[in-house]
Amino acid sequence: MKRNQFIKILVKSTVALLIPVLGQMFVNGWNWGLGDFVFAWVFFNLLGITYTFVQNRINNRAWKILAGLIVIGIFAFVWIRLATG
């Protein structure tokens, strides 16, 4: 993986956390602690790095799409499981 790809993933995952930060400030009942933000940031980065690593190794477009769908499915499964307890 190239260094600029890694930096893009870090920046995008950090920007994605602006939504929960704004929710924390303006929405009543949004109760994220520091650990929740750290977990979300690490989780976003791991998924981004995993997808980028797999994408760089695959040449077939259909397999790249399948890899993306699998990563999205893993993300949704873990996020929903953690959100519902």
pLDDT tens digits, 9-62? 999 999 999 999 999 999 998 888 999 999 999 999 999 999 999 999 999 999
Does this model's pTM top 0.75?
yes
| CA pair distance 80, 22, nearest whole angstrom | 21
The tokens of 64 are what?
């790249």
Q: What values do phi and psi take at 48, rounded to 5?
A: -65, -45
Which amino acid is residue 48, in one-letter code? G
Non-local CB neighbours of 49 within 8 Å, separated by 6+ positions: 1, 6, 9
Q: What is the full DSSP assignment across 35-79?
A: HHHHHHHHHHHHHHHHHHHHHHH---HHHHHHHHHHHHHHHHHHH
